[in-house]
Amino acid sequence: MLVVTKEQKSQTEPPFPNDLYEAFKIIKEFGSSQPLLAFYNCGDNSGASQAHKHIQIIPLKTDGSVQPPIKKAYDEIHDRHVGKSIAR
């Protein structure tokens, strides 16, 4: 799935809070039957191939089969705080 802005926004801009909120709503609604992973690549070095702003949401496998490559990068983030707010 793609979460795309209504207005033409550049993919090189950071995601805005509303972009993240919309992706979160999709994960909450559709992620109960299968785990989902949302990611935002924001430039040539991150693999962005579309100029318009979008967040990608992909299903993850639960049967131990091959996962999308972005899942390996996600698993290597040791200090992530899934579903928790972080006071800074």
Q: DSSP string of 24-56?
A: HHHHHHHTTTS-EEEE---SGGGT---SB-EEE
Question: What was the pLDDT predicted at 73?
Answer: 76
pTM of the model: 0.63
- pLDDT at residue number 47: 58
Q: Catalytic residue at 81?
A: no
Phi, psi of 23 (to 5 degrees): -65, -40
Output the tens digit of pLDDT for each of the chain's 88 residues.
888 877 888 878 888 888 889 888 888 888 777 888 888 877 666 655 667 788 888 888 777 777 777 777 777 877 766 555 445 4
